[in-house]
Structure 1
Amino acid sequence: MNGTNNLLRNRILDERSFIRLDETPDELFYHTPRLVTHIDNAACSALSDHYATRLQDGDQILDLMSSYASHLPADFFPKAVIGHGMNAEELSANPQLHEYFIQNLNKNPELPLEDNSFDACLIAVSIQYLIEPIRIFKQIGRILRPDGHLIISFSNRMFPTKAVSIWRSLDDVGHQNYVATCVRQSDEFHSIKILDLSPTPGIGDPLFSVIAINAT
């Protein structure tokens, strides 16, 4: 594992990195709503605390690859939170979203959003399902305002049949390096940092974050 982790820092990811065990249409997999959180309660609380340190009242937020919970702090007052996902029932049950749209990013990675229109983009415990993450990060760079925040969080939990092959092959350190590498290779961000937010290391679900600032 460690050798793979080190190689990630400099290698160019290829198509083999993004093969999935289940290549059937994502729309079929996500057709049935899953009104559950994908990390434990302690990790959910840690994610909310993390957002509290990065977001400001009045921000325009894009919650990409969202579900029925956005994990935003209860005392956070954004201008608007726009959600994206694959299941309308999940998104309509999310009380923190002002509006949402459905789109399969693995078929169409072009975001139907205006340039420089968001202060922050969140991707929570879903990055492992993207087959073109660098292209998505380029889109995020386009829609974020100058100095806007990209906040990606992830754990070791996943739907293994839909996670890309490189994610399945890596450990926690490898996941951190993989996400940071993809963000770096998009050439859209600076101040890329990896954070360990795990609330109960070795006991509950781990939680990590890659954060970055829009360079355009």
Structure 2
Amino acid sequence: MTPTPENLPEKFFVRQDETADAEFYHHPRFVTHIDDRAIAAVTQLYREYFPANSEVLDLMSSWVSHLPAEIQYRRVVGLGMNRAELAANPRLSAFVVHDLNQQPALPFANQEFDGAAICVSVDYLTQPVAVLRELARVLRPGAALVITFSNRCFPSKAVAAWHALDDRGHLALVRQYLLAAGGWQAIELLDRSPLPPGRADPLFAVVARATNAAAVRSEVGT
């Protein structure tokens, strides 16, 4: 079994709704889950960390990726739960329908991408350490992973640990996930909430760089 982060028992990863995620995400939701100013903060992070002409993995993707319109990427691959949403995303070069909570192993080669994003979705992962270990494998050394989140979620599908913590606690939790996964360095905890406070959704980010990904072996399924 993939280990959970230190001091976090398995009960921290249970959810109010343990029915199959495929059922929950069966119908497309063509909505955004944070407001426009928070989305702009996400886009600015991508502008800073994902260089032009790079290959980007949009993990837990949907019908919009929030990538900056003025930057052209060589390839953007989306992985998500709903085929209709992914098919409607104009920034994706390709997409994969894949349930990370059922199978955290990523269907990609070692060192395939120059960057990866998880936007307002990390709170739904029931095996976050395994997923982040896989991300370290598929990213090239030095590639950035940008994980963003706000104070919104589908409460029934967020893990218990997320409900137990405040915004600062969420930053520390995601950092702990990365440390437990291994293969990450230069971890940054960022508050990119639009100013003045209270007039837009808050926006927080954890950014990390992949280490020598070739040396990182996936332990998924062991």
Q: Same fold (TM over 0.5)?
A: yes
1:209 to 190, 205, 212: 205
Q: Return the alpha-carbon distance in structure 1 between the equivalents of residues 170 and 140 of structure 2.
A: 27
SS of residue matched to 1:175: helix
Residue 31 (1) aligns with residue 15 (2): no
Q: Return the alpha-carbon distance in structure 2 between the equivalents of residues 174 and 191 of structure 1.
A: 19
Residue 89 (1) aligns with residue 77 (2): no
Residue 58 (1) aligns with residue 53 (2): yes
2:41 to 37, 46, 51: 46
SS of residue matched to 2:207: strand
Structure 1, unaligned stretches of length 5 or more?
A: 1-9
Q: Return the alpha-carbon distance in structure 2 between the equivalents of residues 151 and 92 of structure 1.
A: 23
1:160 to 136, 155, 170: 155
Q: Write the mapping of 1:132-171 to structure 2, written as runs, cut at 5 A.
A: 132-171=127-166
Deviations 1:84-122 (A, max 9, x none): 100011111110011100011000001010001100010
Q: Return the alpha-carbon distance in structure 1 between the equivalents of residues 78 and 157 of structure 2.
A: 21
Match of 2:177 in 1: 182
Amino acid at match of 2:83: A
SS of residue matched to 1:48: helix
Shift of 1:50: 1.2
Amino acid at match of 1:207: L
1:120 to 107, 111, 115: 115
Match of 2:74 in 1: 79
Q: Return the alpha-carbon distance in structure 2 between the equivalents of residues 11 and 110 of structure 1.
A: 21
Amino acid at match of 2:88: A
Q: Return the alpha-carbon distance in structure 2 between the equivalents of residues 48 and 111 of structure 1.
A: 24
Contact 1:16 1:165 in 2 (8 A): yes
Q: Return the alpha-carbon distance in structure 1 between the equivalents of residues 158 and 183 of structure 2.
A: 24
SS of residue matched to 2:145: strand
Match of 2:7 in 1: 12
TM-score, length basis structure 1: 0.94
SS of residue matched to 1:13: coil
TM-score, length basis structure 2: 0.91
SS of residue matched to 2:77: strand
Contact 1:184 1:192 in 2 (8 A): no
Structure 2, unaligned stretches of length 5 or more?
A: 213-222
Q: Return the alpha-carbon distance in structure 1 between the equivalents of residues 138 and 48 of structure 2.
A: 22
Q: Which runs of 4+ in 1 moved over 3 A?
A: none
Q: Return the alpha-carbon distance in structure 1 between the equivalents of residues 19 and 146 of structure 2.
A: 29
Contact 2:6 2:180 in 1 (8 A): no
Contact 1:149 1:211 in 2 (8 A): yes
CA RMSD of aligned residues (A): 1.0
Q: Return the alpha-carbon distance in structure 2 between the equivalents of residues 108 and 212 of structure 1.
A: 23
SS of residue matched to 1:65: strand
Q: Percent identity?
A: 44
Q: Return the alpha-carbon distance in structure 2 between the equivalents of residues 82 and 204 of structure 1.
A: 29
SS of residue matched to 1:28: helix
